[in-house]
Amino acid sequence: MGLIDNAKDAGEATAKKVGEFVDDTKERVSDAADQAEADGEVSKAQADLERAEAEREATKAKNEYKEDLR
C-alpha cells in the first residue's frame, strides 16, 4: 500500500502545484491588464493636458491680439 499512497501523494502535490501555477498566471495576466489600463489612462490624461495647454495658449494669443487692436 505504500507505493499507492506515495503515488497518490505525488499526484496531489502535482495537482496542487499546477493549480498554484494557474492561479499565479491568472494573477500575472490580470496585473498586466491593470497596468495596461493604467498606462492608457495616463496617456489620455497627458493628451488632455496638452490639449488644454494648447487651448490656453491660443486663448492667450487671441486676447493679446485683441488688446493690441484696442
Instruction: Please give the pLDDT value at position 1.
Output: 62
Distance CA 21, CA 12 (A): 14
pLDDT digits (tens, 9 = 90+) for 2-31: 788 888 889 999 999 999 999 999 999 999
Largest CA distance in the chain: 103
Determine which helix (DSSP H) or strand (DSSP E) holds 65, and give its type and residue range: helix 2-69
pLDDT digits (tens, 9 = 90+) for 43-63: 999 999 999 999 999 999 999
Residue type, 36: A
